[in-house]
A and B are shown apart, each in its own frame.
Chain A
């Protein structure tokens, strides 16, 4: 049996020539070196622009249906063809971008608010607060995200009768689960930072707990949190697509890529374009977001 010896840190031989840099500049410099990440960032920015200017870019409204033009293959008039009720597929795909990104960013917003709050609470107060928060986190991880979001949405869907797009419900349901990772990460960061000397010195000069948490600990926990956010956004987009695929997400006529994939499955033997384009859109979005995340320093820290 082999024994394990602590591996010595690799010595940096070349002297450090570059000037002192802050977190952002340092991250930007490393990011630029990664060609794939830069390319992916361009795609992400394009997607964001498509989402913002969907009204201008889309040739038709997303709910404009001409039943006599149903199920057409791509043509000059409809570049990506039409769906089963004669709606322009390109337009629906463009509006679908808006839905996907809206879900991705708002879910992350909710997750950050809750995750940071409970993470800070558990990490700084400790004791029974920490115990309660962590048990709750444990309960949420005992059920797969899927099942829980499915469950929440079906509970809410039944409890109101007003016809809605379901967008808000999807965002809230995914957000209410998405905070768990952020919370766990924030707490772990705070716990490890608590041992550091500079926190000790901050305590020594009489900084309050809240001051230490907000001014000294949080900035140092930032890098892993940014990484967590870049993972969280595509995960949220994927979850929305999946929920819509199963019929629990966005309701017609609002387009969602996941739902478009689901709708395509009955026609896919003949009308291949209905399956190809939305799956392609999902894949491109997921890939570009995760390549951007890969380009960030410290991408592979464990969460």
Chain B
């Protein structure tokens, strides 16, 4: 186990370094820099000064080493698009919004997905099962910006029950604004969870030990909740894991449509604006989150299912 973990962590560091090198070199291979301006060009001397201030006049590998050196010390530089704050401050300001949005979506997705998945599995081939299967196919295949537009048209434009966008802040705001983004974001994952729960629970229900549990006279509720569900949930870990980094970072569409002031919007704008420090920081953040979740999910596997050895 310890050997395995060390191996995995070394692998993780290698992936991390490669991601950073690839991102850094791709980013800097683009002609045009953050301080190119179309109108009113700066005098060359002034521009050289700015470039020197940000270290952009150095050879690329020195820039990279310098960057990684300070990044390891927690200094990710200053965002070009929002020069009054550091990258850390910018992420610290916007990421919590995304995390809250994503976190709520995860809660909604799992509670609804599990519930519907269990119902569909227990009432296999009934109309409820078909309805759940159909809706989950819809949720899985229809992109979330499409869902967002539909929900927006129905609940905000036509029925006028909910606001069309925005996000409540600490100082106040309409909490109802959270409903549509959370539902939109939760629909896909919820469908995925429902589908996996259903198929995996059906498989378990037909196994011998469940028959034994029934034979010894346990109520159906006990059989499903205490015996079947535990084993049925193991495959869910594989899909649960990638969902989490996805939901707490990849909320781009939902944030754009519902005007949520989260981190997702900055993914896009920093690429548009060649905001090098911000691009690097978000890329590294995402890569780290993904690698850690994969590692954790593998470890979680061994805890849930003792037959699996690493």
Cα distance A152–B137 when bound, in Å?
Answer: 31
Cα distance A154–B31 when bound, in Å?
Answer: 11
Within the complex, the shortest CB–CB distance from A296 to chain B, in Å, comes to 15
Contact with B along A202-219 (1 / 0, CB 8 A): 000000000000000000
**Listed stretches A69-77, A138-146, A182-190; interface member:** A138-146
Cα distance A151–B291 when bound, in Å?
Answer: 20
Task: Report the number of A-B residue pairs with Cβ-Cβ less than 8 Å.
Answer: 137
B208 touches A7 (CB 8 A): yes
Interface size counted on chain B using CB atoms at 8 A: 58
B142 touches A283 (CB 8 A): yes
**A119 beta carbon closer than 8 Å to chain B:** no
Within the complex, the shortest CB–CB distance from A101 to chain B, in Å, comes to 16
Residues of B within 8 A of A291 (CB): 137
Residues of A that sit less than 8 Å from B by CB? 2-5, 7, 135, 138-139, 141-144, 146-147, 150-152, 154-155, 158-159, 234, 238, 241-242, 245-248, 258, 261, 264-265, 268-269, 272, 275-276, 279, 282-283, 286-287, 289-291, 294, 300
Cα distance A247–B272 when bound, in Å?
Answer: 10
Main SS of the interface on chain A?
Answer: helix
Residues of A within 8 A of B153 (CB): 268, 272, 275-276
B145 touches A242 (CB 8 A): yes
Known A-B contacts A143-B286, A272-B157, A290-B137; A155 and B18 likewise in contact (beta carbons under 8 Å): no
Partner of B287 from A135, A142, A245, A283 at Cβ < 8 Å: A142
A154 touches B271 (CB 8 A): yes
Known A-B contacts A139-B22, A264-B149; A4 and B307 likewise in contact (beta carbons under 8 Å): yes
A159 touches B15 (CB 8 A): no
B15 touches A139 (CB 8 A): yes
The residue of chain B having its C-beta at the shortest distance from the C-beta of A279 within the complex is B146
A144 touches B250 (CB 8 A): yes
A143 touches B142 (CB 8 A): no
Cα distance A147–B208 when bound, in Å?
Answer: 46
Residues of B within 8 A of A152 (CB): 26
A268 touches B14 (CB 8 A): no
Known A-B contacts A141-B290, A144-B286; A241 and B143 likewise in contact (beta carbons under 8 Å): yes
B286 touches A147 (CB 8 A): yes
Residues of B within 8 A of A289 (CB): 141
